[in-house]
Amino acid sequence: MVAPVSAAHALDAPRAFLDVSRSILGRPWRDRCADPALQAYAATMVQAHALPELLARVLAGRGIRPAESEAHLNPRLRDLMPDPDCLVDMGAATERLARAVADNEQVAIFGDYDVDGAASAAMLAAYLRGLGLDVHIHIPDRIMEGYGPNIAAVTALQEAGATLLVTVDCGTSGHAPLEAAASLGLDVVVLDHHGAPEHLPPARALVNPNRLDDLSGLGHLCAAGVVFLTLVALNRRLRRDGMAADRLPDLTQALDLVALATVADVVPLTGLNRAFVVQGLKVMRARGRIGLAALLDAASLSEPPEAWHLGYLLGPRINAGGRIGDAGLGARLLTTDDGAEAARIAAELDHLNRERQAIEALAVAAAEAEMGHALTLDPDRPVLVAASAEWHPGVVGLIAARLKERFGRPAFAFALRPDGTATGSGRSIAGADLGHAVREAVEAGLALKGGGHAMAAGVTLPGFDVTAFRDHLCTTLSQTVAQARAVEALLVDGTVNAGGVTAEMVRMIHRAGPFGSAAPEPTFVLPRHRIVDAAIVGHGHVRARLRSRDGQAIGAIAFRSAQGPLGQAILSGIGREVHVAGTLAVDTWRGAERAQLRICDLAHFD
């Protein structure tokens, strides 16, 4: 749809891509490389570095300068690795871990129930067990124990013989449990990445790049990234203490876990994180970790895994244990050396994931209906908050993610618990710091506990009434959400024709990846292509076939769109020419490869 631009604003407003000022999803399309400086970057990459024009535009659109293009396309971990000691308390952490190794202590690892927590716990446990230590992993039950260390679990671990407790992906806000640990004579090392309060709990060492006094600039790491840097520093410490190099574990083999956690925890895929994923995928493709190989098989993934597989196939299956089953399944899968046990756990996680999908679908439908009605009454509401006693606490984060995706604003979903509390999880949009708002709610007494980071957070409320918490979020985030939504546009990397999209071309574009948070997947437009057929498939997806004016065709799919405006526009547009925007992928079916468009938007034209 093309809307006129008034003369008064013609010079100020950026020109809409293909003159699309309002698409089916109500947003303008903009050229990601509209800035002349970015166009110059792309031209230089083409002329001086012999890069294909589309690849050059993708790189330039993500801020890559010509001189950086080679390093970006072939990232080397050693070029991006910082000195781990730049993190506050890293020296104290490695000193205490080295003493545990020297004295052959029993170590307890307390992790989170998500992918980052499971991968972090598995990585640290494998390292210490490789040096002969007795290591016990405790992953809390989401419903019975909740997030983070708790006094009962800490006490049980100490009574079982642990002398050192290491918390991974949690612990930064665990004041009471860590005070209890200290009173029991249990040393604590915290390895975390979540937003930190001003006053930290007692610990022998608290390594967290997001603590307020840490100036490392590594706040974009997930917990597994922090654990990996800790093991690098520990390797160096143990060598300095006289341990033979051949006794030390090979840390490169842990990069598959770092990659998995980095993608699944949706941290920015830039710099060091990007190198972690690139190198970790190489390790994962060798299928050396028995548990991950079993999970790849359970997910029916026969092709070499790519970054998106980690986020959409592997991550949800590991998370399913923590959401609706045994929270420890993921960590056990990632640490086992028994092929039969790995296959059994992977099959159980696959089953739980299917169960989770069914539970989620019902809850999301109810939440979307409720929030859709709320927005008809208050269209400018900056934050959506939904709650129900019917929702499983393990899927509220997924409900929030779907609400954010559907309505384009931060969202929280709460499960109302039998104990009279409300357990919630939220997801945000770029520019609105949800974790900070939640920490303010805790400090103001509106929540019992909570925390997180800018894009995701969790909280527990002391009752079923979520009104005060919702009002706090709306007040706190109103301005930033309005600013973010005001400039919302679909950024387009270029145009392609159905006949020019091949598997080879898609692989060429993906050399600029992996793509994810802070590194958006390239979006291309197929201009004036006819929808020749379309149908609903799977769980609410819309599959279509598009044909260009010269008769070339390409398959396309719009995920989870059947009931929304995008899916309805595709289904009702058979026989009509439209501009179609989406990302490109290679679909493998029975050994044959073909390029596919994953539709994210559509526009009519006059």
- CA dist 314 and 264 (Å) reads 9
**For the chain, percent of residues with pLDDT exceeding 70:** 98
Q: Which residues contact 288 (CB under 8 A, 6 or more apart)?
A: 253, 256
- CA dist 543 and 399 (Å) reads 24
Residue pLDDT, tens place only, 196-225: 988 999 999 999 999 999 999 999 999 999
**3-class DSSP assignment, residue 554:** strand
Q: Which residues contact 347 (CB under 8 A, 6 or more apart)?
A: 298
- What's the pLDDT at 13? 53
Q: For residues 262-273, give the mean pLDDT.
A: 94
C-alpha triplet 106, 108, 111: angle, nearest 5°: 160
Residue 177 has pLDDT above 70, yes or no: yes
- What's the pLDDT at 143? 86
Helix, strand, coil distribution of the chain in percent, nearest 5: 45, 20, 35
> Alpha-carbon Rg of the chain, whole angstroms?
25
Q: Please return the burial class of 136, using the count of CB atoms within 10 Å of its CB with bins 0-12, 13-18 and 19+.
A: middle
- What's the pLDDT at 112? 95
Look up tokens 């079982």; give the residue. 160
Look up tokens 């210490």; give the residue. 128
Q: Can 80-351 and 490-603 be said to share one CATH topology?
A: no
The residue ranges of DSSP E strands in 103-224, in sequence order, are: 106-110, 134-138, 164-168, 187-191, 205-207
Domain 80-351 has CATH 3.30.413.10: no
Look up tokens 């006053």; give the residue. 199
Max intra-chain CA distance, the chain: 77
Residues 561, 548 contacting (CB under 8 angstroms): no
Q: For residues 75-94, give the mean pLDDT.
A: 96
| CB neighbours of residue 9 within 10 Å | 8
- CA dist 160 and 145 (Å) reads 19
Closest CA to 317 of 281, 342, 280: 342
> Pairing mode, if any, of strands 541-547 and 553-558?
antiparallel
| 490-603: CATH class | mainly beta
Residue 43 has pLDDT above 50, yes or no: yes
- What's the pLDDT at 3? 39
Closest CA to 309 of 296, 298, 327: 296
- CA dist 307 and 285 (Å) reads 11
Where do the structural domains in the chain lie, given as residue ranges?
80-351, 378-486, 490-603
- CA dist 551 and 13 (Å) reads 36
Reported as a pLDDT band with limits 50, 70 and 90, residue 528 is very high
Look up tokens 């309005």; give the residue. 482
- CA dist 180 and 492 (Å) reads 53
- What's the pLDDT at 307? 94
| Encoded amino acid at 352, one letter | L
Residue 11 has pLDDT above 60, yes or no: no
- What's the pLDDT at 487? 78
| 378-486: CATH class | alpha beta
- CA dist 575 and 406 (Å) reads 27
Which residues make beta-bridge pairs with 386? Answer: 413
Give, as one character, the DSSP assignment of residue 504.
H
Residue pLDDT, tens place only, 452-498: 888 899 999 999 999 999 999 999 999 999 988 887 899 999 999 99
Residues 375, 406 contacting (CB under 8 angstroms): no
Residue pLDDT, tens place only, 379-410: 999 999 999 999 999 999 999 999 999 899 99
Tokens of 579: 């501009």
Residue 163 has pLDDT above 60, yes or no: yes
- What's the pLDDT at 199? 93
- Whole-prediction pTM value? 0.90
- CA dist 436 and 455 (Å) reads 10
189 phi, psi to nearest 5 deg? -120, 125
- What's the pLDDT at 276? 98
| CB neighbours of residue 252 within 10 Å | 12
Closest CA to 397 of 487, 304, 324: 324
Residues 326, 349 contacting (CB under 8 angstroms): no
Residue pLDDT, tens place only, 301-348: 988 999 999 999 999 999 999 999 999 999 999 999 999 999 999 999
Q: Which residues contact 286 (CB under 8 A, 6 or more apart)?
A: none
Whether a cis peptide bond, with omega within 30° of 0, leads into 410 is no
Look up tokens 């409720």; give the residue. 370
Burial 544-568 (b: 16+ CB within 10 A, else e): bbbbbeeeeebebbbbbbbebebbe
Sign of the C-alpha dihedral computed for residues 321, 324, 326 and 327 taken in this order: positive
Q: Which residues contact 604 (CB under 8 A, 6 or more apart)?
A: 1, 24, 576, 578, 579
Residue pLDDT, tens place only, 128-148: 999 999 999 999 998 889 889
Reported as a pLDDT band with limits 50, 70 and 90, residue 12 is very low
Tokens of 265: 């925890």
Tokens of 555: 């398959």
Q: For residues 343-372, give the mean pLDDT.
A: 96
Reported as a pLDDT band with limits 50, 70 and 90, residue 7 is very low
Across all residues in the chain, what is the average pLDDT?
94
Q: For the chain, what's the residue count?
A: 606
